[in-house]
């Protein structure tokens, strides 16, 4: 099976570089989500290592990546998205020692086509052992995974900062298109001892007949070292029909068990139940092992409520004001007996029907907010927010009140 695993660097307490309007961890996640959405719309099996602002150690990331892999995989790309701290404006791409530069070159060309400079694409060796890659996310992933890192530019350089803010969706679409082209391009395979047409066809999920036709073979005989073209089928695109019930992207997220975790604490964190987690993971007991990866169900009907992750400084009153609801309605929907909130807690927020709610809501800018993070929270766009508020730039002031268009 072909897969693309998308890894947004940093998260949680690791914010990375911070400029006036970009927080690196948020940008990494936002562009990862955009690439994910585009690939899914093209029919590609795509997965997000993190889909929220959470801390993940390198070991936890590797555990999650491993959980996405299966014995049926024959081509897996691991794309890590980050920003750089270069002194010169432009993007960089790092690919593994075990792979060719083909994908790196395609990604570099797609980035240049958006108008962003590409400083270089290269391999980076561990200075202590030059036979190994430098970065753990490349070095320690399954050797059958093609791991590549894209650094889109530095938010500390004005030219890059302006480009990154204005062209994130264009960048994401270019990256997704290049990956799609790479996945649907024919492979070359060299016959090894013990190979048969059937075993090779099975490995690459094609038919023996397609394999023979692509190589002009009239028999099933193979020679060791023989070069075979492996045809790639067009990825089947999903039906354009929308589901009746809007769903949160993906039907689950992955959670790596850490010391102190219980099914109850995990269920509370993700606003689900112990029973649902056990059923989703076929668990017969409540016992957990550190490092174990659980699938957390996230399919949520958004007709009646939306999900909000509590941030530092939030109160029930400020959240209720932001979403044009009341503290009592939020408490009733979440079965809360007090006004106390925990950071990263998931809250259900009443979603008024379209015929009763105004066409915008007011939002008070907090430390760390950017136009694109606010736009993502409210399922709108940066341009729509700027137009509604007559903004000429993406700069924000803490305490500033913005009108946020509601869809």
pLDDT at 233: 59
> For the chain, how long is the longest CA-to-CA vector?
75
Residue 356: pLDDT above 50?
A: no
pTM of the predicted model, to two decimals? 0.56
The reply to whether 172 and 286 lie within a common domain is no
Residue 353: pLDDT above 50?
A: no
Domain that residue 267 falls in: 242-301
The reply to whether 93 and 133 lie within a common domain is yes
Residue 348: pLDDT above 50?
A: yes
Domain assignment of residue 316, yes or no: no
The reply to whether 295 and 158 lie within a common domain is no
Domain assignment of residue 308, yes or no: no
Distance separating alpha carbons of residues 107 and 133, to the nearest angstrom: 20
Distance separating alpha carbons of residues 371 and 350, to the nearest angstrom: 23
Domain assignment of residue 100, yes or no: yes
Average pLDDT over residues 299-326: 70
pLDDT at 351: 64
Q: What is the CATH number of the domain that holds 170?
A: 3.40.630.40
Domain assignment of residue 21, yes or no: yes
Under the banding of pLDDT at 50, 70 and 90, the label for residue 291 is: low
Distance separating alpha carbons of residues 10 and 24, to the nearest angstrom: 8
Question: For residue 149, how many other CB atoms are within 10 A of its CB?
Answer: 23
How many domains does the chain fold into?
Answer: 3
Domain assignment of residue 107, yes or no: yes
Average pLDDT over residues 171-190: 86
Distance separating alpha carbons of residues 34 and 175, to the nearest angstrom: 10
Domain assignment of residue 153, yes or no: yes
Closest CA to 164 of 310, 24, 269, 57: 24
pLDDT at 235: 55
pLDDT at 36: 93
The reply to whether 83 and 162 lie within a common domain is yes
The reply to whether 44 and 102 lie within a common domain is yes
Q: What is the pLDDT of residues 78-104, one digit of tens each?
A: 999 999 988 899 999 999 999 988 899
Strand partners, 405: 360
Distance separating alpha carbons of residues 322 and 149, to the nearest angstrom: 37
- Using alpha carbons, list the distances in angstroms from residue 253 to 52, 152, 294, 391: 10, 26, 8, 36
The reply to whether 51 and 171 lie within a common domain is yes
Under the banding of pLDDT at 50, 70 and 90, the label for residue 234 is: low
Under the banding of pLDDT at 50, 70 and 90, the label for residue 169 is: very high
Residue 299: pLDDT above 60?
A: no
Q: What is the pLDDT of residues 2-39, one digit of tens each?
A: 899 999 999 988 999 998 889 999 999 999 999 999 99
Q: What is the CATH number of the domain that holds 275?
A: 3.10.350.10
Under the banding of pLDDT at 50, 70 and 90, the label for residue 201 is: confident
The reply to whether 138 and 218 lie within a common domain is no
Q: Which residues touch 64 (CB under 8 Å, ≥6 apart)?
A: 49, 50, 56, 254, 256, 293
């Amino acid at each position: 099976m072909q897969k693309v695993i998308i890894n947004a660097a940093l998260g949680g307490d690791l914010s990375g570089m911070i400029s006036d309007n970009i927080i690196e961890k948020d940008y990494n996640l936002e562009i990862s989500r955009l690439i994910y959405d585009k690939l899914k719309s093209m029919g590609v099996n795509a997965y997000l290592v993190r889909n929220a602002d959470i801390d993940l150690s390198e070991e936890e990331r590797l555990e999650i990546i491993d959980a996405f892999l299966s014995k049926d995989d024959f081509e897996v790309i691991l794309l890590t998205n980050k920003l750089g701290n270069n002194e010169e404006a432009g993007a960089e791409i790092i690919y593994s020692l075990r792979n060719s530069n083909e994908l790196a070159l395609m990604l570099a060309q797609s980035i240049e086509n958006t108008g962003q400079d590409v400083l270089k694409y290269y391999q980076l060796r561990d200075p202590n052992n030059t036979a190994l890659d430098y970065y753990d996310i490349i070095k320690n992933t399954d050797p059958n995974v093609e791991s590549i890192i894209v650094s889109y530019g530095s938010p500390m350089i004005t030219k890059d900062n302006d480009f990154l803010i204005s062209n994130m969706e264009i960048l994401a679409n270019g990256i997704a298109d290049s990956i799609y082209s790479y996945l649907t391009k024919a492979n070359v395979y060299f016959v090894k001892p013990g190979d048969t047409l059937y075993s090779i066809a099975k490995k690459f999920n094609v038919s023996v007949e397609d394999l023979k036709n692509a190589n002009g073979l009239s028999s099933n005989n193979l020679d060791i070292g023989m070069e075979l073209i492996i045809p790639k089928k067009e990825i089947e695109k999903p039906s354009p029909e929308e589901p009746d019930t809007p769903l949160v992207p993906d039907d689950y997220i992955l959670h790596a068990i850490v010391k102190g975790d219980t099914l109850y604490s995990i269920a509370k964190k993700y606003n689900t139940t112990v029973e649902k987690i056990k059923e989703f993971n076929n668990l017969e007991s409540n016992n957990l092992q550190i490092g174990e990866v659980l699938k957390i169900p996230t399919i949520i009907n958004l007709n009646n409520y939306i999900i909000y992750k509590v941030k530092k400084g939030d109160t029930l009153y400020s959240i209720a004001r932001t979403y044009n609801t009341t503290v009592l309605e939020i408490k009733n929907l979440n079965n809360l007996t007090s006004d106390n909130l925990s950071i990263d807690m998931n809250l259900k927020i009443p979603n008024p029907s379209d015929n009763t709610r105004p066409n915008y809501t007011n939002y008070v800018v907090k430390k760390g907010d950017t136009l694109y993070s606010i736009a993502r929270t409210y399922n709108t766009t940066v341009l729509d927010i700027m137009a509604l508020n007559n903004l000429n730039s993406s700069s924000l002031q803490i305490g500033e009140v913005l009108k946020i268009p509601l869809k």
